[in-house]
A and B are shown apart, each in its own frame.
Chain A
Amino acid sequence: MQSLGFLVCLLPEARRRGLQGADLARWARDRLGYFNTNPYLAGMIVGATLHLDRSGREEESLRLQKGLASSLGALGDPFFWEGARPAVAYLGLSAAFLLGPIGILAAWALFAIASGAIRELCLRLGVERGPGVVDFLTRSWVHRSMSWARAAAGLSCGLALALGFFTRWNAQFSPFALICALGALICGFLAAWRRWPLDRVLILATILLWGILRSTSSM
C-alpha cells in the first residue's frame, strides 16, 4: 500500500512537468517498486524525491528512495511505535482516570497535531535539502530521541498504572483481589519469559480461577 501511496503523492508533480501517456507510464513504473518505511517520516522521502526530480536527477532519486526508506524505518519505528505512541496513549489514560473521556480526546488531538507537524516538517526538509537530509539523520540528537521516547513511554506507563489501579482498586480491595493480582503478575511475567501468547494465558487463568471458585463454593 505504501508504494502506491508514495506514487500517488508524486503524480501531481510529474503531471506538472508535462509527463503524459507512455512517458508518464514509464516514470510511474520506475517508482512502483517495493517501498516500506515509517509512515510518519515518509514525507522526507517524498520531499527529497521531488527535489531531485525537479533538478533532473531521476536516477539518483530512485537510489535515494531505497536507501532512505530503510534508514527512516529503523529510526522511526522505535521512536513512534515503542516511544511516542505508547507515551501519549498512557498519558491519555492517566488524564482519563482523572478527568474522564476528555483526557483520551486530548491525547488523541495532541498526537494527531504533533504527528501532522512532524510529517509537514519532514516533507519541507526533504524538498529543501534533497539528498542533504542524510546529514540531518546522522545528527546525534535524532538518535538520542529514540531512547528519550522510550523513557517517556515508561514514565507515562508508570503514571497510568498508579492512577488506574488506585481509582479502580480503591473500592474493590480485598484478600481475594490481592491473590488475583499476584497471580496475574506472576502469569504475565512467566508469559513474557517463556514467550507464551497472552490470550491463551488469560483463558487458562480464567479456567483455573473458575475451577477454584467453583470448588470452594461447593465445599
Chain B
Amino acid sequence: MILAAILGGLAGADRTAVGQTLLAHPAVAAGLAGWLVGAPAEGIWLGFCLTLLMQRHLPVGYESLWDTTSLAVAIPLAAGANAPEWAFGMTLVLGLVLARPAGRAINLLRSLALHNRKRLRRRLEAGELPPLERYHFGMSFLHFVRGLLVTVILALVLRLAIGLADSFFDESARRSFEAIWWSAPLLGVGVLLRQRARLPWLLFGLCLASLGLLLWGAP
C-alpha cells in the first residue's frame, strides 16, 4: 500500500516536473501498481484500457487534463489482489469521472509556478537574488506530494465505492461492470478508426500479430 502510494507520487512528479521517463504513462504506472499489489494481469489490462481511452488527450500546453497517472495507480491499490472483475470495471468508470477534477491539481501547481515566476522576477528587478534552486526543487517536490496525495485520496474513495457496491449492487449491475471492464479498450479502438493517418499501420500491426499468434500459438 505504502509502496504503491510512493509509486503514485513518483509517477506524479515524472508526469510534469522530473524525468518524464514514461513512468507516468498509464500503461507503465498501472502495470507496476498491479504488480505491487499482487494483481499483475489486471494492472496490465487497466494500463491497456487507459492508454486507449486517453489517447486523444496530449499533455501539451495548458490544456486541462484527466489525471490518469494517479488513477492508474489508485485503481489496483483500491481493488487489491483478489478483487472480482466487476470491481475493476466499476472503479474504472468512477475513476475516470474523478480523474478530471483530480487533474485540476496539476493546473493549480502550474498557476503556482506562474505566480512564483512573477514574484521572482519582481525581486530580480529590484536587484535582489532569491534562492532560485530552492524554488525549483521545491516545486518539483510539490508535484511528488500532489501525485501521492491524489493517488491516496482516489484509492480511498474507490475502495469505499467498492465496499458500498458490494452490499448494494445486484447481479445485473455486476455483470454490466464486468462487460465494461473487458470491452472498454474497444471504445478507444473506435476512436482509432477515425485517425486515418495511423490506421494502415495499425491494421498492419494487427495482421502481423494475428499471423504470429496463428503460427506460434497463443501465449
Asked if B127 and A184 make an inter-chain contact with CB atoms under 8 angstroms apart, the answer reads no
Contacts of B200 in A (CB 8 A): 154
Give the contacts of A160-219 with B (CB-CB under 8 A): 160-170, 172, 176-177, 180-181, 183-193, 198-199, 201-203, 205-206, 209-210, 213-214, 217
| A188 CA / B96 CA spacing, docked (Å) | 15
Contact A93:B22 (CB < 8 A) given known A77-B60, A213-B172 = no
B163 contacts the other chain (Cβ, under 8 Å)?
no
Between A82, A89, A152, A153, the greatest number of chain B beta carbons within 10 A of the residue's beta carbon is seen for A89
Residue of B nearest to A189 (CB): B190
B121 contacts the other chain (Cβ, under 8 Å)?
yes
Contacts of A4 in B (CB 8 A): 113, 116-117, 120, 132, 135-136, 139
Closest 5 CB pairs of A and B: A188-B190, A158-B205, A154-B201, A162-B209, A104-B31
Contacts of B209 in A (CB 8 A): 94, 158-159, 161-163, 166
Binds B, one of A19-27, A46-54, A58-66: A19-27
B215 contacts the other chain (Cβ, under 8 Å)?
no
- Contact pick for B192, options A88, A150, A157, CB 8 Å: A157
Between B25, B204, B213, the greatest number of chain A beta carbons within 10 A of the residue's beta carbon is seen for B25
**Per DSSP, are chain B's interface residues mostly helix, strand or loop, or mixed?**
helix
Residue of A nearest to B206 (CB): A158
Contact A170:B218 (CB < 8 A) given known A5-B136, A115-B20, A210-B173 = yes
A32 contacts the other chain (Cβ, under 8 Å)?
yes
Asked if B51 and A209 make an inter-chain contact with CB atoms under 8 angstroms apart, the answer reads no
Interface, chain B (partner A; CB < 8 A): 16-17, 19-23, 25, 27-28, 31-32, 34-35, 40, 43-45, 47-48, 51, 53-56, 58-61, 66, 92-93, 96-97, 99-100, 110, 113, 116-117, 120-121, 123-125, 127-129, 132-133, 135-136, 139, 170-173, 175-177, 179-180, 182-194, 197-210, 213, 218-219
| A184 CA / B96 CA spacing, docked (Å) | 16
- Contact pick for A177, options B25, B183, B190, CB 8 Å: B183
Q: How large is the interface on A (under 10, 10 to 19, 20 to 34, 35 or more residues)?
A: 35 or more
Contact A25:B128 (CB < 8 A) given known A77-B58, A81-B58, A176-B179 = yes
A117 contacts the other chain (Cβ, under 8 Å)?
no
Asked if A8 and B194 make an inter-chain contact with CB atoms under 8 angstroms apart, the answer reads no
Asked if B202 and A158 make an inter-chain contact with CB atoms under 8 angstroms apart, the answer reads yes
Asked if A104 and B20 make an inter-chain contact with CB atoms under 8 angstroms apart, the answer reads no
Give the contacts of A1-24 with B (CB-CB under 8 A): 1, 3-5, 7-8, 11, 21-22, 24
Contact A93:B59 (CB < 8 A) given known A26-B127, A176-B179, A217-B171 = no
Residue of B nearest to A198 (CB): B53
